[in-house]
Amino acid sequence: MTVPEQQHSSTPWWKSAVVYQIYPASFKDSNDDGVGDLQGIISQLDYIRALGADVVWICPMYDSPQVDMGYDVRDYESVYAPYGTVADMERLIEEAHRREMRVVLDLVVNHTSDQHKWFQESRSSKDNPKRDWYIWRPATYDPVTGARKPPNNWLGNFGGSVWQWDDHTQEYYLHLFCPEQPDLNWENEETRKAIYESAMEFWLRRGVDGFRVDTVNMYSKGDMRDAPITDPDSEWQFAGYQYCNGPRMAEFLGEMNQVLAKYDAMTVGECPNTPDMKRVLEYVSAKEKQLNMVFQFDVVDIGQGPYKFQTTPFNWKLPALKDAIERTQNLIRGNDGWTTAFLENHDQSRSISRFASDAPEHRVASGKLLALMEAALSGTLFIYQGQEIGMVNFPLDWDMSEYKDVDSSNYYKMVSARTNADPTALHAAHVSLQHLARDHARIPMSWAPTPNAGFSPSPTTKPWMRADAAQALVCNAKQQQGDKGSVLSFWKHALRIRKEYEGLFVHGDFDVLDRGDESVFWFVKTAKGGEVVNGVNGTNGTNGTNGATNGEKGKRGKAVVVLNFTGEAREVKWPAEVADEKEKSELLVSTVEKHEEGKLAAYEGRVYLL
């Protein structure tokens, strides 16, 4: 593999990376069976490279019963048959490397499928050698009624108790997610060694460049005491602060890091339920040698309820978004940590629908606004399939049969059971799901204006999940590739600027301005140590933007970003902290082709160099 040239030779490759996330079932179907596959991914590597991404992250492609879309792994060393084979995966890695791109896989090792051979042995008898590879506990009993009860009151991530009774061995096993996803026992050294060999080294030896580590802070469960009662109407209580960030996490991740270091492999961990930023920094500190970076959920959790879907759309104000971004950006300030910039993934609905406007007249402007914001943030940047063309949530008039995700269906069933199927309550649940459900990220990628969005070779092939044909008519990759005013073209342009000004946008410090403004988001990026960064060549008049010219005029170590988060024009009022520098500023990029000097158009964003 030819390693992409780095601006700073001493800087790890993953810091300046742009990562493109792929959900295999829904990306591209190559053999017309209605399911995305590895050959489909290979066919679009040039598309991804042309966007400006240099790393491909592939969601679980392992052999799986697909109870939770591959996050229930039956065999780490095999590929889910509808996606392809291990040989296909090896070819994908080879083809990516040939294009100077890297490949990252999902590492799902908090739990396996209940069909994994390890669990099949574990549940076969109490004296099986692999019994302790999973977490088994005896029942407790009600002192009054004598009724059998689970070992604690923890609520599962998909609802209900985290404990499943096993008739055969007369004990409960732990599953933080579905009952079909039993948790591995990381306290057992033999189990850990098997995980490192089967789930990690098997693929690292085949050229994989790193892992997105699923539920990375859940391996050490602590003492598993009862969670405090936060929902008096439920027998089961939120326990995220009990089972996340346990006492042996540093030890376990240190072991994992020793395996990864042999291959110069990157890690990005999924890190929920960690409000203490000092704890987050321990995970991502270069000195600690645990993880390279993590996904914090401060931004994407905005607008969620006490239980994710118990909320109403747009019940948040812009200052909350500013604060959330600031928390994640500050991980790199004055320390040896690293951070990530993302707005979408397979577990989130579409960012335009959540944070801007998916109204037809605002979709394109909103897509460009969010692209500019994300491209200007420090850390490793992640883009989710379809985000680069401005895909939005599917409409409210799709009924609940179109929601395939276990999280969505379980929530709707819970509301139905709690309210005796009250129509008003069920409608509210549907509205919330239409805003926040994971399903919106999982419909087929919009490639072309056909009934199945160009997902399969034949335009009439029915995909495994309904394609949004109406959206595909106005939002598809085929049309946008030839349109200089498209969301896709703007993403390409923004990523070129990000790479050109790497010291400023990838590594720079972030400061919020005018925090209380509920309409406009101002922030400053400052290159570290007063570093001078190069100007952008040839951007003048391209894609509706203005660009800095060559030479000394284009050398700046500071930038001001302004983003209008409303559907109305707003006056450009420079905050007091930078008002004196307005006359010395130069417009680097605007998201609209014809902009007014003193007025921001609806959902317009700009970057000024100082």
- Is 224 in contact with 151 (CB distance < 8 Å)? yes
Domain made up of 507-609: CATH architecture: Sandwich (2.60)
Q: Spelled out in words, what is the top-level CATH class assigned to the domain 117-174?
A: alpha beta
Q: How far is residue 73's CA from residue 67's CA, in Å, rounded to a whole number?
A: 10
- Mean pLDDT for 20-43 is 98
Encode pLDDT of 60-99 as tens digits: 999 999 999 999 999 999 999 999 999 999 999 999 999 9
- Mean pLDDT for 43-67 is 98
- Is 573 in contact with 609 (CB distance < 8 Å)? no
Catalytic residues, by residue number, are: 214, 270
Task: Give the model's pLDDT for residue 534.
Answer: 53
Which residues partner with 270 through β-bridges? 295
- Mean pLDDT for 413-425 is 96
Using only C-alpha atoms, the chain has a radius of gyration, in whole angstroms, of 24
Q: Pick the residue with more confidence: 536 or 343? A: 343
Residue 595: pLDDT band with limits 50, 70, 90: confident
What is the DSSP secondary-structure string of 9-54? TTS-GGGS-EEEEE-HHHH--SSSSSS--HHHHHHTHHHHHHHT--
Encode pLDDT of 282-326 as tens digits: 999 999 999 999 999 999 999 999 889 999 999 999 999 999 999
Domain boundaries, the chain: 13-110+189-394, 117-174, 507-609
* Host H or E run for residue 489: helix 487-500
Q: How far is residue 113's CA from residue 134's CA, in Å, rounded to a whole number?
A: 12
Task: Give the model's pLDDT for residue 216.
Answer: 97
**Closest alpha carbon to 387 in 341, 429, 431:** 341
Encode pLDDT of 122-147 as tens digits: 999 999 999 999 999 999 999 999 99
Both structure tokens of 5: 């040239």
Both structure tokens of 363: 């979709």
* DSSP code at position 148: E
* Host H or E run for residue 599: strand 599-600
**Residues contacting residue 132 through CB under 8 Å, at least 6 positions apart:** 122, 185, 188, 191
Residue 530: pLDDT band with limits 50, 70, 90: low
Mean pLDDT of all residues in the chain? 94
Q: Which fold has domain 13-110+189-394?
A: TIM Barrel (3.20.20)
Largest CA distance in the chain: 82
Encode pLDDT of 218-275 as tens digits: 999 999 999 999 999 899 999 999 999 999 999 999 999 999 999 999 999 999 999 9
Task: Give the model's pLDDT for residue 467.
Answer: 98
Q: Pick the residue with more confidence: 124 or 594? A: 124
Task: With a cut of 80, say whether residue 556 has pLDDT above it.
Answer: no
Q: How far is residue 123's CA from residue 135's CA, in Å, rounded to a whole number?
A: 11
Task: With a cut of 80, say whether residue 573 has pLDDT above it.
Answer: yes
383: how many CB neighbours lie within 10 A of its CB?
26
* DSSP code at position 540: T
- Is 370 in contact with 355 (CB distance < 8 Å)? yes
